[in-house]
Each structure stands twice: as C-alpha cells, then as structure tokens.
C-alpha cells in the first residue's frame, strides 16, 4: 500500500511539474511585439568582418578587400598572397582630403571605393561612383583619369557559356580562315574567303524554321548544327489592379511553359565542305530541353563529335558520338533511372586537348564523378563513398587531378557541411583543403594558386583564411567576425537538432529558434518554416545571427526548420522520396522530428503546431494541412505552386515526371482542398511572374465551393514573395490569434505602428 501511494504521489508530482501552455494576455502579446520590433532594429548590421570579397591584383599574387564596420565606416586591406602579410591599403583621411580639393564629395570615415587598381608603386587608381581617379600618396593629390576595364573569366570547368553570333556558335569563320559561313532566310551557306561561289547547303530553311547553332569542326572540313522547329509558348496573364495613373486594371501577359507543353525541337545535321552537301544525322529528333545541345569535337580525330541528349521525363541521359563522314550516331554514355536524373546538377566537362569526359552521376546511390574515355567508351569512377559531390572547383589535366566540394565525407559532422578536396583521376591522393569542422565557402584566385576559405556553423561566427592551393597550407587569418555588438543583445542562439526519420534509421537535420525569455515552466506552440523543394536542401548551415524565425520566436513560439526526405544533398534514396510525390514534402519525417524535439524539450507543444512557407513552401504548407490535419493546426501559405500542372514545366516535370499522369491531380491542393480542417491564410502577389497567381486562386475557389472557412490576402502589384512586410505582419497576427488564442495588436487603433521611426515598413526580412 505504501509503495502504491508513493507511485501515485510521484506521478501526480511529475504531472504538476509538466510545463503549462503559454497563453499570454493581449497586453502581454503587445509587449512581445514591441520587443520583437526592437530586436529587429537592434540586430541590423551588427556583425562585421563576416566575409571577405577579394579583388585580385598583380596576376593573382595579391588582392584587396573592403570591411564595412559599425556606423557604415569602411576600411581597405591589402594582402600579399605569397607571404600572407596584410596592411592598410588606403589612408582614407588623406584620400578624402585630396578628393575634396578637386570638388569631389568624400567622407573620410565612410569612403566608398568600388574598385582599386595599382598600376605603379606610387600610384593608386580608385573608382568612386562610376568615375576613376588617380591618387598620388607622396603628393597627396587626386586627379580624374579614364575608366579602367577589367575582365576575369571565373567560369567553373564544365559551365562554359554558350556563345552565339547570329545562329553560330563561337565563330562564323572557319578555323583555317578559308571559309565564312552565314545564314540567309534560314538557310546555311559557306563562301570561300579568297573568292568564288558560295556553297548553299540547305533549301528548306526559312525565317520561321531556320538552321542555326552552327559550329565548325577543328579541321574546317565540316559544319554541324541544327534545323530548328520553334514552338511559341502559350501565355499566362495577370491583371494589375492598382497601376498609378490608370482607372482600369492593366492586363499583363508572359510566355510560360507548363508541364506537358511542347518544346522547340532540333534535327541534327552535318555539312561537308568537300562534298558540298548536307546530311541529317541518323538519330532521333531532339525535343528536350529547350535548347540545342553543345557539340564537342574529338581531340585526335575531327571526323567525330559528341553531343548530350536528355530525354524528356528526366529518366535517361546519353552522350552520343556522331561520325561526320557517315552521319551515324551511337551512345558512348547511356544512363537510365527508374526515378529521375537531376538535369540542373548534371555536370559534364570535356577537358581541352583530351578525349576525356568528366561527368557526374548518382548511379551508385550517391552523386559522384566519373572519367569517360570518349574513344573506347570506358568509364572509371573517380570519387566514391557514402557522401555527395557538391561541385567541381577546378580540373588540372596535366596533373590528372580534380578539385571539388563535397558534403558527408567527414565522420561525426553535419552531413550537409561543405568541405573542399583534391583527388587524382584514379581516385587516389585525396587531400582535404578545408580542415575545420564547419561549413566552408571557398573562392579561388584567378589562376587557382590561392583560395579564400570562410567557414562557420549555425551558431559559431565566421572565420576567413587565406590558403595555398597546392597543399592547403594556411597563409593568413584574414578576418574573424566581429560579433561583440551582437553578443551584447543577449539573444538566444539557434540550435541544431537531429532526429530519426520515418524509416527509424536516417538522421533528419534541422534547427530550432526559441524565445530569448523562454520560461522552462511553459510550453510554446511550434511554428515550422517549411521549404521542401526537391531541388536543394534549405536549413542554414552557416552562421545566422538573426532571422525572421527568431523574430517570430520572440512572440512566444518555438520556430523550427527541417530538411526532410525528398530534398537534395543526401543519398539518391533520400532524394527519390520526392519522385512523382511532391505532396509528401517529407512531412512524415518532419512530424517525427518535432515529436522527438518535444520529448527532449517539453517546452515544445506538439498539440499546437503551425506551418508557413513561400512558393514550394506555400504548396507544402497547404499539403500539411490537407494530408496531416491531426498534427498541423494552422498554416500561412504564400504564392504556392498548389497544382503542379499550373506551375513552370522545367521544375515540375523534373520531379513529377512526364507524361502528365493521374498523380498530378491526385496530389493537387486544388483537388484536395475539401479536406481542410485547420486554419489557413493564403497570400498571393497579383503580379507573380514565377508561379501564376491562379494557382492560389484555384485553391481559394475550391475551398469556397467546399464551404471551408479561410483567410485570403491578395497584395496589389506584388510579385513572387511572402507578401512583403505587410504579409509578414499578417502572418504573425494569424498565428498569434489561432495558436496563442489571443487577439493580436489593434493596428488601426494605434496600439502599434506598422512603420518604424524612420518611416520604413517593419519586418523587411529577405
């Protein structure tokens, strides 16, 4: 009996100690708005020296950068990259005085120089407000000079610009300078530059169905290009209701390709100078994507060239070889997927002077790099492991090395942290170039001899170092972020949180923002900031001193952001969850994550969960309310792509597939609008050119027809956004009313002002 009493007493005590729901009064919530407003103001521009934007000089052996400090004061730093030594570059007081002598306004504390050149030892050239001046330090003198022009090609390998000139790629003139090709009324001609009759290769071209994207072979014996069959896209329309100076709505239209719409198509041809004839390549018409493929000629035998073919539906990728003599085509690479191949992250690079192709693939379950012999078709894997190649920084053909960024390689770290590495083509000699346990952002000098590495985590401030590329050696600590003013405010830092996903094995990563005055005896509603677009991952990994999430938390919420299954930058299986399944949005993983958060931190109230998002996040928000109504109780959805048949083709077919099947309608928020149980605010900008506004209007129409209660805000003139500062105000008020059960501030009665003391709209978060 005594033991039973003790057990009963203990359970009562535990229940008595459990946090109680946080439910502020109206007066308290007004005070919390005031506090959030104050923090929004105090936290603007209070972290300094968090990045270094290098401006390289002297053929990449030195650089300068600018620091913007407290009160918008500036300083300019010169760095010798070889030694790592730093020194002040400008004596701002002397420069400003010299500028004022020639009637140029200059504030010595806030001197803003856009660009700097050091042509001679005792002369500095400065660009100020679009004009150039020479400053002579020894003479304390400035005078105007002609504008300088700098061009630096920072294009990463495999991302070469597709240069065209009136239907030609690169040049109309042949490499041997003997011929010039031209297009007349859609037909292709070539004329000898030493005189003589031109060759007319085609007769069935026209201005509306022309030949184009023509390219010479390296030996000048062939031209290759396309007969182009253009498709004019249908338009989407918006009505602008409040254009100044008008008394009627203004109709605006733009071409817009939706899923299932036809593409411009291309027939591939070879044109022989010797035989003076055109031959269509024996291959299928190219009808996807909406551009003609680049042509890559073989290094040792210009009778052959290659082009890339992505099939519509994103399930097959080929590299085709064409014999220019016969017009025969065959695949050198032929990759197929049961789900999708990610077009925008398909990396290909054809190193000049070789018959190699370096490409990316997820065929082993992770995004890795492969080396292809374009002559034999043999393919070798360069990188390998349960981690993801995120990008290619450089390829050294002579050393047979690839420089790349990756995430997930380092044990015990956040698998999204980006590090930079170097590796031989044979997969050996791996060297890590960014050793610190953090998320790294690296920029290289023009010749790749040096790199600047800025690293941080969600709640540790950035450090920027100069390193040498050959061995990763640290040459200098350029800057450590100045967070003194930020720390004085006393904000609660966001926290990284990890929990298992729906399979019970996979780690799901996210972040948590709490009220700075969190009371451990209270439990607070949860707000999820969602963006589950499959094209990337979205939870910040670098330093976030302040955000809208924290501003919302100050009102009395625990605000979270999560990367659930179906988003990118993890394994192929993790990503594949989105395939023909965008409505899933990783919501099962997100719900489990929040429940795990509440188990560890009982201040998180899973009985009061709200969700908000913009664009794909707007779609995800409504999907959460429709398909998981027992968990999500309120949502604010801005400019959502609520029906994947209405939104842009290139994004939706990538994940939902082609042709357009019944699954498109089955997952539509329009189709399922009748399932709404929670509270919903829809926001749309009437001038949204990204996601057609009718996507939101169709949801509203379906909700009305289903007799559902909801709120709707259409913002005149607004483009693709969350509704701007006013929309963010309405979002706060909505969640305060529906999750905290208290009336928000009475704005019209003057309890608070939407504008701050400077007359600017509050909550102007980007």
Beta carbons within 10 angstroms of residue 490's beta carbon? 9
Among 107-121, 177-191, 209-223, 410-424, name the one with the lowest average pLDDT: 107-121
For the residues 543-560, what does the mean pLDDT come to?
A: 97
Question: Does the pLDDT of residue 2 top 50, yes or no?
Answer: no
The pLDDT, as a whole number, for residue 759 is 62
pLDDT digits 0-9 by tens, 225-238: 999 999 999 999 99
The pLDDT, as a whole number, for residue 58 is 87
Domain span(s) for CATH 3.40.50.1820 in the chain: 26-44+486-739
Residues of the chain with pLDDT > 70, as a percent, come to 94
Among 14-18, 350-354, 419-423, name the one with the lowest average pLDDT: 14-18
d(CA 576, CA 534): 9
Question: Does the pLDDT of residue 516 top 80, yes or no?
Answer: yes
The pLDDT, as a whole number, for residue 155 is 55
Say if residue 628 is exposed, middle or buried (CB neighbours under 10 Å; 0-12, 13-18, 19+): middle
For the residues 490-498, what does the mean pLDDT come to?
A: 95
Q: How confident is the model at residue 753 (pLDDT cuts 50, 70, 90)?
A: confident
Question: Does the pLDDT of residue 22 top 50, yes or no?
Answer: yes
**What fold does the segment set 26-44+486-739 form as a domain?**
Rossmann fold (3.40.50)
The pLDDT, as a whole number, for residue 11 is 47
d(CA 540, CA 551): 16
d(CA 402, CA 383): 10
Q: How confident is the model at residue 763 (pLDDT cuts 50, 70, 90)?
A: low
The pLDDT, as a whole number, for residue 14 is 44
SS3 521: coil
d(CA 542, CA 551): 19
What's the token pair of residue 102?
A: 């020639």
Q: How confident is the model at residue 120 (pLDDT cuts 50, 70, 90)?
A: confident
Residue whose C-alpha is closest to residue 296's, from 319, 325, 279? 319
Residues 6+ apart with CB under 8 A from 579: 339, 340, 655, 657
Question: Does the pLDDT of residue 367 top 50, yes or no?
Answer: yes
For the residues 429-436, what does the mean pLDDT come to?
A: 96
The pLDDT, as a whole number, for residue 154 is 52
d(CA 404, CA 419): 9
d(CA 386, CA 366): 6
Q: Where are the alpha helices (DSSP H) in 169-324?
A: none
The pLDDT, as a whole number, for residue 7 is 46
The pLDDT, as a whole number, for residue 764 is 67
Question: Does the pLDDT of residue 359 top 80, yes or no?
Answer: yes
pLDDT digits 0-9 by tens, 436-486: 999 999 999 999 999 999 999 999 999 999 999 988 999 999 999 999 999
For the residues 161-177, what does the mean pLDDT come to?
A: 79
d(CA 594, CA 598): 6
Question: Does the pLDDT of residue 21 top 70, yes or no?
Answer: yes
Provide the 8-state DSSP code for 286. B
Residues 6+ apart with CB under 8 A from 42: 489
Q: How confident is the model at residue 757 (pLDDT cuts 50, 70, 90)?
A: low
The helix (run of H) or strand (run of E) holding residue 271 is strand 265-272
d(CA 325, CA 323): 5
What's the token pair of residue 234?
A: 């249908």
Work out whether strand 388-396 and strand 401-407 pair parallel, antiparallel, or are unpaired: antiparallel
Q: Number of C-alpha atoms within 13 angstroms, CB side, residue 473?
A: 9
For the residues 634-646, what does the mean pLDDT come to?
A: 98
Q: How confident is the model at residue 6 (pLDDT cuts 50, 70, 90)?
A: very low
d(CA 382, CA 168): 35
Residue whose C-alpha is closest to residue 170's, from 202, 218, 226? 218
Q: Are 123 and 98 in contact (CB under 8 A)?
A: no
Average per-residue pLDDT for the chain: 94
- pTM for this model (two decimals): 0.93
d(CA 149, CA 115): 10
Residues 6+ apart with CB under 8 A from 737: 743, 744
The pLDDT, as a whole number, for residue 257 is 97
Work out whether strand 632-638 and strand 74-80 pair parallel, antiparallel, or are unpaired: unpaired
Among 105-109, 221-225, 650-654, 664-668, name the one with the lowest average pLDDT: 105-109
Q: How confident is the model at residue 164 (pLDDT cuts 50, 70, 90)?
A: low
The pLDDT, as a whole number, for residue 147 is 67
The pLDDT, as a whole number, for residue 754 is 79
Q: How confident is the model at residue 403 (pLDDT cuts 50, 70, 90)?
A: very high
Work out whether strand 131-136 and strand 187-192 pair parallel, antiparallel, or are unpaired: unpaired
What's the token pair of residue 603?
A: 């201040």
Q: How confident is the model at residue 765 (pLDDT cuts 50, 70, 90)?
A: low
What's the token pair of residue 441?
A: 């952002």
pLDDT digits 0-9 by tens, 675-687: 999 999 999 999 9
The pLDDT, as a whole number, for residue 121 is 77
The pLDDT, as a whole number, for residue 283 is 97
Residue whose C-alpha is closest to residue 616's, from 558, 553, 513, 538? 538
Residues of the chain with pLDDT > 90, as a percent, come to 92
Q: How confident is the model at residue 171 (pLDDT cuts 50, 70, 90)?
A: very high
Among 70-84, 370-384, 751-765, name the one with the lowest average pLDDT: 751-765
For the residues 598-625, what does the mean pLDDT come to?
A: 98
d(CA 563, CA 11): 36
């Amino acid at each position: 009996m005594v033991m039973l009493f003790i057990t009963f007493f203990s359970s009562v005590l535990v229940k008595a100690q459990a946090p109680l729901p946080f439910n502020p009064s109206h007066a308290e919530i007004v005070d919390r708005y005031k506090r959030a407003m104050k923090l929004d103001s105090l936290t603007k521009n209070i972290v300094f020296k968090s990045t270094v934007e290098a401006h390289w000089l002297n053929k990449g052996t030195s650089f300068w950068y600018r620091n913007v400090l407290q009160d918008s004061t500036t300083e300019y730093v010169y760095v010798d990259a070889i030694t790592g030594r730093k020194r002040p570059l400008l004596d701002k007081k002397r420069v400003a005085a010299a500028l004022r002598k020639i009637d140029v306004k200059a504030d010595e504390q806030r001197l803003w120089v856009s660009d700097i050149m050091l042509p001679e030892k005792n002369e500095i050239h400065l660009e100020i407000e679009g004009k150039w001046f020479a400053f002579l330090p020894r003479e304390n003198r400035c005078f105007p000079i002609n504008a300088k022009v700098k061009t630096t090609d920072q294009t990463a390998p495999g991302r070469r610009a597709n240069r065209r000139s009136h239907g030609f790629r690169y040049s109309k003139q042949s490499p041997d300078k003997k011929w010039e090709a031209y297009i007349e009324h859609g037909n292709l001609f070539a004329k000898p530059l030493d005189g003589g009759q031109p060759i007319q290769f085609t007769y069935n071209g026209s201005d509306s169905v022309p030949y184009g994207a023509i390219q010479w072979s390296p030996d000048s014996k062939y031209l290759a290009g396309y007969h182009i069959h253009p498709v004019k896209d249908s338009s989407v329309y918006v009505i602008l209701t409040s254009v100044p100076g008008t008394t009627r709505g203004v109709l605006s239209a733009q071409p817009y390709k939706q899923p299932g719409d036809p593409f411009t198509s291309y027939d591939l041809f070879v044109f022989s100078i010797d035989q003076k004839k055109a031959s269509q390549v024996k291959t299928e018409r190219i009808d996807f994507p909406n551009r003609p493929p680049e042509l890559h000629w073989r290094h040792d035998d210009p009778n052959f060239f290659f082009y890339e073919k992505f099939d519509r539906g994103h399930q097959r990728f080929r590299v085709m070889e064409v014999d220019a003599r016969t017009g025969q085509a065959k695949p050198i690479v032929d990759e197929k997927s049961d789900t999708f191949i990610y077009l925008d992250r398909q990396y290909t690079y054809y190193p000049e002077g070789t018959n190699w192709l370096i490409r990316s693939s997820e065929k082993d379950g992770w995004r890795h790099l492969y080396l292809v012999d374009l002559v034999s078709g043999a393919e070798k894997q360069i990188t390998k492991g349960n981690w993801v190649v995120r990008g290619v920084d450089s390829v050294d053909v002579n050393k047979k090395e690839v420089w790349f960024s990756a995430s997930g390689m380092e044990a015990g770290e956040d698998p999204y942290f980006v590090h930079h590495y170097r590796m031989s083509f044979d997969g050996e000699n791996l060297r890590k170039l960014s050793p610190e346990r953090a998320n790294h952002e690296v920029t290289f000098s023009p010749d790749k001899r040096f790199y600047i590495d800025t690293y941080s985590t969600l709640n540790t401030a950035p450090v920027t170092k100069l390193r040498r590329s050959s061995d990763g050696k640290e040459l200098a600590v350029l800057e450590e972020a100045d967070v003194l003013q930020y720390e004085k405010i006393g904000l609660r830092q966001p926290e990284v949180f990890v929990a298992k996903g729906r399979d019970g094995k996979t780690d799901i990563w996210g972040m948590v923002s709490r009220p700075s005055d969190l009371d451990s005896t209270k439990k607070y509603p949860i707000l999820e900031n969602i963006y589950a677009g499959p094209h990337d991952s979205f939870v910040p990994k670098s330093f976030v001193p302040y955000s809208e999430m924290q501003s919302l938390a100050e009102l009395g919420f625990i605000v979270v952001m999560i990367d659930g299954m179906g988003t990118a930058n993890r394994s192929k299986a993790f990503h594949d969850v989105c395939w023909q399944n965008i409505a899933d949005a990783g919501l099962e993983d997100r719900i489990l994550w929040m429940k795990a958060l509440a188990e560890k931190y009982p201040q998180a109230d899973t009985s009061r969960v709200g969700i908000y998002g913009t664009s794909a996040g707007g779609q995800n928000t409504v999907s959460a309310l429709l398909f998981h109504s027992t968990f999500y109780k309120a949502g604010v959805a801005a400019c959502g792509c609520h029906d994947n048949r209405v939104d842009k083709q290139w994004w939706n077919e990538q994940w939902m597939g082609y042709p357009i099947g019944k699954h498109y309608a089955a997952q539509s928020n329009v189709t399922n609008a009748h399932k709404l149980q929670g509270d919903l605010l829809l926001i749309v900008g009437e001038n949204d050119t990204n996601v057609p506004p009718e996507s939101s209007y169709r949801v509203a129409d379906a909700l009305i027809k289903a007799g559902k209660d909801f709120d709707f805000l259409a913002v005149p003139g607004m483009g693709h956004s969350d509704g701007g500062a006013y929309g963010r105000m309405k979002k706060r008020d909505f969640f305060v009313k529906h999750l905290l059960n208290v009336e928000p501030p009475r704005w019209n009665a003057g309890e608070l002002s939407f504008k701050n003391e400077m007359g600017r709209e509050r909550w102007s978060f980007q």
